[in-house]
Structure 1
Amino acid sequence: MSKGTHYLMKNTLLHTLFFSCFLLISVLGQAQEKQLEKADQKYDRYAFIDAQKIYLKVAEEGYRSPQLFKRLGNSYYFNAEFEDAAKWYGELMKDATNDVESEYYFRYSQSLKALEKYDEADKWMMKFNTFSSKDDRAYLFTEQPDYLREINYNSGSYEITRTAINSTYSDFGTAFSENKLVFASSRDTGAFIKRIYEWTGDPFLDLYEVSINPANGELSEVKKYKGNLNSIFHESTPAFTKDGNTVYFTKNNYNNGSYREDEKGTNKLKLYKATRSSDSKDFGTPKEMPFNSDEYSTAHPTLSPDEKKLFFSSDMPGSEGLSDIWVVDILSDGSYSEPRNLGEGINTAGRETFPFMTASGDMYFASDGHIGLGGLDIFVTNVTDAETISEIINIGEPANSSRDDFAFVIDEDTKFGYLSSNRNGGLGDDDIYRFKQLKEHKLFCEVIVMGVVVDKDSGQLIPGAKVSLVDGNNNVIKSLTVGDRANYAFVTECETQYFLRATKEDYIGDEKLFTTPTESQMVELDLMLEKEIVKAEVGDDIGKLLKLEPIYFDFDKHNIRPDAAVELAKVIAVMNEYPEMKIDVRSHTDSRGKDDYNMRLSERRNKSTINYIVERGGISRDRLTGRGYGESELINECANGIPCSREKHELNRRSEFRIVQISEE
C-alpha cells in the first residue's frame, strides 16, 4: 500500500488530511433574593414617617381601598414575604375592577405559586395574560454577539454518558436498525487470523451490533454484525431503510476482489448498497453506487424521512471545500439522479460530513467550517423538500467539545441517541456516547434589557438600588447593585417573559413585566422607586407625604363620606404614631358659588374633619387647629368668572393637614 493509503486507514475513516484521507478531519426556595429586614425599624420620630406601618394600621382597622392594598402587597412582595403579599393582593382582587394594573395579577399569581397554590395561581395568571400589554421601548440591536456566547445559547441541551460498548480501539458511527445499534469498530475480536492495518497496528474497521433494551435503553454484549457486509478492509457508517431490508454504507474502494486507487495512489472511499429479502438474515453482495469514482470519495449516507433521497459526504468536483454534503434522488425504478451539492448555506471551505436526517427533516452534521469549539462540531439545520437550508445551529456543550464530535443520531420519539467523539477522558481513539436531549434547539437570539433606577417623585437617580432579572417561575436569574449612574443591563433570551424588580431600603420597590422581542434588540426599561419612609418637617402637608386621595364631600354637604374616611384613617394613624405631633387642618373650596357661602361651607367641613379625627381616632382636640379658607387660596387660575373644567375646579377642593409641631421643644 502507498503511504497515503496507510494514512487513510490509520485514522479509521476519521482523521485524514483530505476528505478521503481525513474524514472527520446554566427566589423562592431556589436562588431567592435576600429578604430585606423589615422588623421594627427604629425611627427618628422627629424626622420620619414609616408609610408601611401606617398603611398596615389603617388596614387592620378595617378600612379598604385599592391603593392601600397595592402598597401593602408590594411592601411584602419585594421582600419575598409572599404569604403576607398574597394576603393583601387577595384583598385587592376582592375589590378589583378593570382599572387594576395587570402587573398586580402577575404578582398575586407569583405569590400564590410560592405557597404551592398552583391551581389558584394559574387562574390569576390567565387573567394577567388577558390584560397584559407590551410597553417596551426597543432599539435595533446592532452588535453581533461573539461565537462563544452563541454556542453557549444552546449548551445544556443534552445529557451525555459514555457507553459500555467502547473498546480501547476506535468505536464510532452508530446507526439504528430495528431494535439494534450498528457501529464501526477496529477492536481486536480475538480471531485466530487477524488482518492488521499496518500504519496503526490495529485491525481494520468492521461493523458490530448490540441489541437495545426498549425498557431502559441498556445495550447487550457487542457482536460482529451478521449481515454479510464486512470484508477484509474498512466498513463503517451504515444507514438502514425503515423495513431493515436495504442498507447503504461506507467502505474502501474494494469490490469483487479488486482494490483500486486514484491517480496519486490513494484508495478512496465509496458508498455501497446491499439488499435482502424479508425472510433473510443476510444481505446480498454489496453494489457500488453509480456516482462513485476512483478519483474522489463518497461516504456517510443518510436517508430522507420518505426514503426518496440519499444524502452523503463527498469531495467530488463542485464541492465548496474539503468535503461537502450532497444529495441524490432515489428514483422509482431504483436508479439515481445526478448528485446535487446542498450549497453554501450548509457547505463551507472546511469539512461538512456525517449527515443524519431525522423523521422531522432536521439534519445533523459535523463541520469544522462553521464556527465551533474546536475540531469537528455537531450542527443542526432543517432541510425542506426543496432542499432549502434553514439557519444552522451549533448544538453546544456537552454534545460538542474542543475535540472532534461527529456521527450524531437520535430517535426523536424517545429523545435518546448516540454521538461519537475523541474528547478527553475517552477509552479509545474514538468513543461512542449515549445522550438524552433535554431541550429543543433555538436559533441564537438575545435581547439586552437596560435602563436606570430613579425616584418616582423627583426623577433623581438612585445609586445602590438592587435590580434583579426574574423568570416566569419567580426564580432570580441575575441580580446587580447599580452604581453612581444607577444604570443596569441584562442579556436575555428572545420571545421569553421576564420581569425586572428594583428594591432599596426605605423605598417601595418597582417591578416591570415584559416579553422580549423575536429578534435581537436592545430594550430600555426604567425602574421607579417610591420612598417608603418620608421625611416630615414643620410646615409639611401630611396629605402630600402620604399621597392621600382627595377628601371629597357630597355637593352642599359636610358629612364624612366612606372614601374620605379611609384617607382620614391614615392621618389618625400618623398622629397615633407620633403622639406629640400637632397639625393644622385647612379646608378649601373651589370658586363656584358665592364667596361668603363657600367660606361658611369650608368652615363646616373643617369642623366635620376635625371632629372625625377626634371622635373616631381618639386624638386630643388640643393637638388640632384649623379653619375653612373658602375660595381664598386657589392653587390655579380658576377664580370667579374664569371658565375652567370640572377637573381643574376639583384641584381647589382640597384638605390640607399641615404639621405645626412634631415634638415638644
Structure 2
Amino acid sequence: MKLLRRIATVLLVSLISVGGYAQKNFAKEADAKFANEQYFSAIDAYKKAETKAKPAEKARINFQLGECYRMLVDPTQAETFYRRAIKLKYDKVNPIVIFQLAEVIKEEGEYKEAAEQYEKFLKVKPGIKMAEDGLAACEKSQEWINNKTRHIIVAEVQLNTDKYDFSPVFADRKYNQLIFSSSREGSTGAEIDDRTGESFMDLWATTRDNNGKWSEPKPLSSSINTEDNEGAAAFNRKMNTMYFTRCPREKKHNIGCDIMVSQQQGSNWKSATSVGLKPEGGDTITVGHPCLSADDQVMIFASDMPGGFGGKDLWITKWDRKAKKWGPSSNLGETINTAGDEMFPHLKPDGSLYFSSTGHLGMGGLDMFKAEKTGENQWGNIQNLGYPLNSSEHDFGIIFDRGDTEKGFFTSSRINGKGHDDIYSFKVPQIQFTWTVEVKNKATFEPVPGATITLVGSDGTSVTRTTDETGKYKFDEENANRLIKKETNYTIEISKTDFLIGNGSVSTVGRTTGKNFYSAYEIQPATKDVVIDFPEVRYDLDKWALQVNETINSEDSLDYLYTTLTENPTIVIELQSHTDCRGSDSYNQKLSQKRAQSCVDYLITKGIPSDRMVPVGYGEKQPRGPKFECGEIDKLPTEEEQEAAHQKNRRTQFRVLSFDYKPAGGSE
C-alpha cells in the first residue's frame, strides 16, 4: 500500500489554509524528506528540529509528525501529535489539523469522538465536502457494523509477517498461485526504505496445495525485483504477461512510480520495461496498481497525473492492436474519482469494478467499493462493501477466487493484525437449510415410523426417505450435497399403508439467511373400520340439495373431500349420510340416501369418477355415540342443548373401502 499512498493533504491545505510558516533552516532536512515521501526518516529529523524550535514552529513540527505517522498508517501516534499541535494552537493557523485529527480518530474506530472533531472543523471551515462526508460516515459506519454482511474474514497466517504484506493477485489459471507485495526479510538489497523504515518491497510467490496450505513464499527473480520498491501486480488472461508497479528512488528527488510489464520466459520472467503511460516530462507523476479487463483490451490504473479530481484517481487506457501498445489515458470521471484517493482497482469477469477510496463515504482510511458496469468503459452505482470486509483501518486490494463473488482475498491494516498490512481471505458461507419432518397418527397422536416422505424441488430434484422410530426425518446434507437448497420451492408427500396421504411445503426463495425448517404433520388412518369426519355439509329441512347461502357453502365443505380424493387417487370410499332421530325411520333412511347421493353427484361434477364413491344413507341408525341417542337427548335441560345434539347426529362422513382403485381401461 505504501507504494502509492499519498492522501490529498495538499489539496485540503490549498483550500483552507489561512497561513503558514517559512521553513526554518534546522527543519529543512525534515521538510525535504517529507516532500520526498521519506516519512520514516522525516520523523527522526522533525523530532531533532523540535528541540530547538520556537513555539509556533514547534506547533507546525508536531503537525508534520502527525502527518508522517498518518502516512505510515499509525493513527494512534498520529493522534498524539495532532493533539500536541492543537495544544500549541496550530489549529488557529491551519485548521486542517482538526480535520486530520478527526480522520485518524475515525481510523481508530472512535466514531462518536471523530464526529465531534468533524463538527469543530466545520464550524471553522463550513462547506468542506470531505469533512461533511467524514461526519456522515461516522453515523453510516455504525449502521454498517450493526448490519454486518455474512462474510467470514480470516487472516492468512501462512503468508503474513510483522512487515508489510499486501495486494495478492492470482498468477496461474488454476488459481493456486499468488503473487503479492512484501517488505519481509529476504528482499532484494540491504538498504532500508526511508519511507517505511523497513526493507524495500518485492514481489513474492506462493502456491496453494490440495489441502489449501500455502507454500513458503519465494521472491521473484532479479528480472522483476530490484533494490527499489515493486508491488501491486496484475496478469493477462493467459497468465504469461505480468504488469506491476515499480517505484524508483533518487536522493533528494521524488521520482514517481511506474507500471512495468514482463513476459514469461520458461519458468522465469524477462526483464521488465515501462508500459509508457506517463506523459512526456512527467517523471514525478505516479502511475501504478494496474488491472486488466477479461479480454486484456482495457487497463485501469491509479495515478496522480494532471486532470484528476484529487490525490490519486483511477484512469483507463485501451490496447491499440495496430500499434501494439497502450493508448492515451483518460480519467474515469467524478462518479468514481473524488477529492481523496482512489486506488487498487480490480475488474471482475462480469465487468464490475472494485476499488479502494478515501473519498467515498467509508468507515475510515481506505474502504473497498464496488461499481457496476453501466456502459462501455463506464461504471456507476457505487456501493461500499460494508463491514466486516471494510473496517475503520485501511482495506484495499480485493481479488476473487476463480472470479467467484463469494470468496477471495484482500489487504487490511486492521487492528490485531500480525504486521502493518496483512493479507486476509474472505468467503460468504453457504446459506444452509434443513427441513425436519415429523409424522404423527391423527387419531392417536402417536409417532408414525416407516412413513415414506417424497421431497420434490422446483429445481427438478426429488428424493424419497423414511421416518425413523420417532416418526421423524431430517432433510440435511448427503454426500456433500444439500438436500434443501436456496431459491427453491419444495413440496413433500407423506404416505404409509392404511393411511391417507399427507402433504406439505416450504420455500427458501428470497431468504438471505439459513433456516432449520420444522414441520409436524398428522396423517389420517384409513382402515375400513375408521370413519372420517370432514367439514360440515348442511341441507335445508327435509331437503337433500346442498345448502349454499350467505352464511354457509356446503360445496366448500365437499371440496375438502375432493382434495382428499385427488391426493389419494387409488382410494375408493363409502360416503355416508346420517340424520337425527326425529321423523320416521323409513323417511330418514330415504332422506339420508338422497343426501349422500347429492354429495357424490357434486364430486362427479368436479371430475371424480363415480366408481370411486359409494353413497350410503344410514338414516338415524348410527347416532354419533351413546350420549346422542334420542332418549339421552330428550333428557337435556334446554331446547338449545337438544338441538345442538341433534345437529351432531346430522352429519356426512366417509371411510376408505380400498386402496387399489384403477380407472376403467387403465393399465394394470
- TM-score bucket of the superposed structures, by smaller chain: 0.3 to 0.5
Structure number with greater CO (CA < 8 Å, separation at least 6) is 1
Give the number of the structure whose residues are more often helix, by fraction.
2
Please report the TM-score for the alignment, with normalisation by the length of structure 2: 0.47
Name the TM-score, length of structure 1 as normaliser.
Answer: 0.47
